[in-house]
Amino acid sequence: MIKATVNGAQSFEITPAGPGTGNVECNGKQVNWSAEALPSGDFSILMDGKSLVAQVVKIDRDTKTVSLQIGQALYEVALEEPMDRLLASMGISEAASRKINDIKAPMPGMVLKVLVSPGQAIQKGEPVLILEAMKMENVFKAAADAVVKEIKVSERTAVEKGEVLIVLE
């Protein structure tokens, strides 16, 4: 069973009714549905005789959320699987148990600018470093909330593939 919470308020418990049937149970009620990808990238959904077109706006695999636009309405759907509920009942969240990875150079290049300093708290998606590689500027962003433990490189220095640039904690 998957729990889907829409816009942080309305919750649905979804259980597959049987393999290959196209049916699911939603909050204990049988629902017949199907979805087809359209050439535009949108999805045509047929649910209990109603036709809808949904556009996937954003997928965040880390937080298990999907943003969908149906008509003029935007829906933020958070998905919770049985393993998520088990970990939560044990006081463990999957996001908290993930190791924060250090920032490494994916290719040889030149460090143009370091945008953070040791001890600085950074937010997911925040720019931390600019690396020039193959005549292109690549902005490295934090993959998760973290604290900068150590900066291993300085500006205007060459780095090799796999070299640790910034250590996070």
| 91 and 9 in a common domain | yes
First to last CA, the chain: 35
According to DSSP, residue 106 is labeled: S
| 161 and 108 in a common domain | yes
Pick the last residue of a domain from 96, 119, 137: 96
pLDDT of residue 94: 52
Pick the last residue of a domain from 48, 75, 96: 96
> CA 128, 61, 94, 117: dihedral to nearest 10 degrees?
0
| 88 and 14 in a common domain | yes
pLDDT of residue 97: 47
Q: Residue 124, CB half-sphere, CA atoms under 13 Å: how many? A: 8
- Residue 44 maps to which CATH number? 3.30.700.30
Structural tokens at position 90: 């044990």
| 75 and 19 in a common domain | yes
How many structural domains is the chain composed of?
A: 2
Q: What Rg, from alpha-carbon coordinates, does the chain have?
A: 22
| 41 and 21 in a common domain | yes
Q: Is the pTM of this model over 0.85?
A: no
**Which residues of the chain fall below pLDDT 70?**
17-22, 91-100
| 132 and 91 in a common domain | no
Strand order in the sheet with 158-159: 136-141, 127-133, 109-114, 158-159
pLDDT of residue 156: 94
Q: Which domain holds residue 141?
A: 103-168
Q: What are phi and psi of 62, to 5 degrees?
A: -65, -45
- Which amino acid is present at 104? K
Pick the last residue of a domain from 77, 96, 115: 96
| 19 and 63 in a common domain | yes
d(CA 69, CA 52): 10
The three-class DSSP label of residue 37 is strand
| 112 and 79 in a common domain | no
d(CA 54, CA 82): 26
| 83 and 134 in a common domain | no
Q: Give the tens place of pLDDT for each residue, 117-154.
A: 999 999 988 999 999 988 888 899 888 888 999 999 99
